[in-house]
Structure 1
């Protein structure tokens, strides 16, 4: 069993489970909070399904690399055949998964850059490169040998040790190096493109732009993983005897590259979910309103809990005059107050309330 074999299996399960959780939250946020699922969401779902296929291939390849079961020629033939089949399936699943992830990201870019014609053209060109490049490399990986079954044939594999090169198969070393370099270059372009666009977006507040730049900067981890995988791939192809030792590292960094892309591409879609959770937290932190607030009318002084109201006590003394004098009734009865008609210079007509309101409104 090669080094880091078990770590590769554990990391594959952990990262794929984490990506599944993030994509599930993305679909919840898009469907229930935003009410809209677009093509980039469905393509990312296909990429997630492809990563679970990569996990199965990862386990099968680690199992096939256990040469302790090769006690004789027949056992070695079984182990070598299983390993060749795993490499064949891994090559296809890895290319397909990265193609789907990058396509989903670029579809999202195409949606947010609809107002920028220059960026739309760049995104469309990148979409064409990613889709055509992915399809071409998948076909090239499948047709590595003619017939295809020779790619995992034990006889063809052993013929190379006896000076019988497989002329019906092309050398996969340049293909692997080209694929790793291609992924690194496209990762750098795809993850750098939105950062340059957001920084130059003057219509958005600076704080919001910096927040989005920080979110998309998570994609730099995918660039680092792609660069480390390229170096590991060079070591894997440089020496046949070291392939068994370094293949687990190739699988490990392949998993990191794939799932970092899925998570980093899905984090921007979780913002409505974070906002909803933040509102709930702030609502719980605020104290419940007192019922007294509803009893105090507008314009009344602020009510403070625990404030003792000053009692209103009738005065025993008369309101007017000296307190030593007794209250005396008026000498004569007062005439009732009669309404006085206004003698305004505007005329003798008396305006009612509706007329006043009409004038004020005009």
Structure 2
């Protein structure tokens, strides 16, 4: 998710690179994601000693060692979920600040806005994952809970990749809508040049 969100922030930076507050916003998101990504990686690698105990609890009895208690994992997961949800919402809604200023047909603005707001669905996956993590260490079937958390994590990443790629899907979606009889531009053509004046 770190690399996905940094790539989205870099794309947004290019769109309005002459505006100081926009540059500060994009660099803040990139810095926050970079720090979180590195910190989360170290947390995962250091939560159990030896590392194999992260996926094989039986090794703790064989060779000794220790893992963080479930409460520590819950706290770290909640902090990560908060960062993910906040950045998902910020990166999804930020383009609307300049989207409505573009001199484009309303239907086209709605289409581009919808494609760029797909990141909100990643926020939903992150919220559901955060609710599941609360049961970590308490659930009767830990294996099923772990699989559910992993599934929502993968779905969050997939939706993030779709959101990052969605602006480039505009011509394809616009062509598909035109083939079904909907017109997104006044003259019925797919146009990709934007006027920021």
TM range (shorter): 0.7 to 0.9
CA deviations over 1:171-204 (Å, ceiling 9, x no partner): 33322332223222221222122223323x2x43
Residue 175, structure 1, aligned to residue 76, structure 2: yes
Match in the other structure for 2:110: 210
Distance 1:174 1:158, change over 3 A: farther
CA deviations over 1:33-66 (Å, ceiling 9, x no partner): xxxxxxxxxxxxxxxxxxxxxxxxxxxxxxxxxx
Residue 121, structure 1, aligned to residue 20, structure 2: no
Match in the other structure for 1:231: 131
CA contact (8 A) 2:89 2:119 kept: no
Displacement of 1:105 in angstroms is: 1.0
Q: Extract unaligned runs of 5+ from structure 2.
A: 182-197
Larger radius of gyration: 1
Distance 1:206 1:277, change over 3 A: closer
- Which whole-Å CA distance do the structure 1 matches of 2:104 and 2:167 have between them? 17
- Which whole-Å CA distance do the structure 2 matches of 1:145 and 1:256 have between them? 26
- Which whole-Å CA distance do the structure 1 matches of 2:137 and 2:46 have between them? 23
2:58 to 139, 147, 154: 154
1:222 to 113, 122, 126: 122
Match in the other structure for 1:111: 14
Secondary structure at the counterpart of residue 204 of structure 1: coil
Distance 1:269 1:281, change over 3 A: same
TM-score by length of structure 1 reads 0.43
Displacement of 1:238 in angstroms is: 5.1
Q: CA RMSD in A?
A: 3.0
Match in the other structure for 1:23: none
Match in the other structure for 2:153: 254
- Which whole-Å CA distance do the structure 2 matches of 1:262 and 1:137 have between them? 19
Distance 1:210 1:115, change over 3 A: farther
- Which whole-Å CA distance do the structure 2 matches of 1:242 and 1:149 have between them? 21
TM-score by length of structure 2 reads 0.74
- Which whole-Å CA distance do the structure 2 matches of 1:225 and 1:128 have between them? 23
